[in-house]
């Protein structure tokens, strides 16, 4: 089976404004970076609807996001989460891609899937958008896998350089989920310092500034991958942020594209052990265009290639 790449031209129409790091050029770089990766089937993502968004977001939050979308110019949900006339449609396509990816993998349409979409989602909380994120694409995909497809144990793993506080908050208190994150600390949003117990298992691994590839790989090998093996997920969602790359302007970590490829292959092995290979990846951060293209290539090549 092929690996699906779900994307949509509407995701280019979300424009946070001049000088903002979450530029439409990010998606162009990602798609350019996937050229030459074999075994991919690129498809147009569907749009989610507001009923689907309500699986993790409150009606008031959804209304606030769409009310902020202007007819022209820019609107603001917070000081760094800005929206333009195309932002609402882009956010619906990003969420719809994540949900459709789960459907495709669960029904055997694809072996795995990568959602090349924006805006990103892992900072979006049940009650507010923040941190460049409008709706939480990864959390929506995870809840869809459990509530619609009946998966008993769904894991969301997040290697973005920033802690996915929104995903953690969306899943906290829900049974049948694990959220695991490695992230630079201190860095935005200032959360993810320690693990928390509860119906949703949470594994946070804060990493110091300057963390290099060997230290990053050891953190996953010693902390997160064993926790995932213990949890034995029957579906795996990946929040794939590439802003830990050494060239990225929003972090001080020292990772290379090869580190993301290594981790992706480790996650594929884990999915094979526990989840019949079922894995869906959703684009999060990454703000140096060249590093982003190279990292996305390494990630998707590992996702689609032989094990």
Phi-psi sector, 132: left (phi>0), alpha (psi -120 to 50), beta:
left
User: Which residue out of 57, 123, 183, 274 is catalytically annotated?
Assistant: 123
Q: How far is CA 11 from CA 18, 165, 210, 301, in A?
A: 17, 23, 32, 22
C-alpha atoms less than 13 angstroms from C-alpha of 234 in its C-beta half-sphere: 10
Q: What does the alpha-carbon distance between residue 223 and residue 177 come to, in Å, rounded to a whole number? A: 17
Tell me if 147 sits within 8 A of 106, measured CB to CB.
no
Tell me if 86 sits within 8 A of 93, measured CB to CB.
no
Q: What does the alpha-carbon distance between residue 156 and residue 8 come to, in Å, rounded to a whole number? A: 23
Q: Is position 14 annotated as part of the catalytic site? A: no
Active site residues: 123
């Amino acid at each position: 089976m092929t690996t699906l790449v779900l994307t949509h031209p509407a995701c280019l129409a979300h424009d946070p404004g001049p000088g903002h790091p979450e530029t439409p050029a990010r998606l162009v770089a990602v798609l350019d970076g996937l050229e030459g990766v074999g075994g991919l089937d690129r498809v147009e993502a569907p749009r989610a609807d507001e009923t689907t968004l309500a699986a993790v977001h409150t009606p008031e939050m959804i209304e606030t996001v769409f009310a902020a979308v202007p007819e022209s110019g820019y609107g603001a949900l917070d000081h760094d989460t800005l929206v333009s006339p195309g932002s609402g449609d882009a956010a619906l396509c990003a969420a719809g891609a994540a949900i459709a990816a789960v459907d495709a993998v669960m029904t055997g349409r694809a072996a795995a899937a990568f959602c090349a979409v924006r805006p990103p989602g892992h900072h979006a909380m049940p009650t507010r958008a923040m941190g460049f994120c409008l709706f939480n694409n990864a959390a929506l995909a995870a809840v869809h896998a459990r509530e619609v497809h009946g998966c008993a144990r769904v894991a969301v793993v997040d290697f973005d350089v920033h802690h996915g506080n929104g995903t953690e908050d969306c899943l906290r208190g829900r049974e049948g989920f694990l959220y695991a994150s490695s992230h630079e600390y201190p860095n935005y949003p200032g959360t993810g310092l320690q693990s928390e117990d509860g119906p949703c298992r949470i594994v946070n691994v804060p990493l110091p500034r300057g963390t290099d590839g060997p230290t990053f790989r050891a953190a996953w090998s010693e902390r997160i991958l064993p926790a995932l093996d213990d949890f034995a997920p029957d579906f795996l969602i990946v929040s794939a942020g590439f802003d830990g790359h050494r060239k990225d302007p929003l972090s001080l970590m020292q990772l290379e594209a090869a580190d993301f490829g290594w981790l992706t292959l480790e996650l594929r092995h884990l999915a094979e052990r526990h989840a019949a290979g079922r894995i869906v990846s959703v684009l999060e951060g990454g703000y140096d265009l060249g590093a982003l293209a190279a990292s996305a290539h390494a990630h998707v090549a590992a996702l689609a290639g032989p094990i």
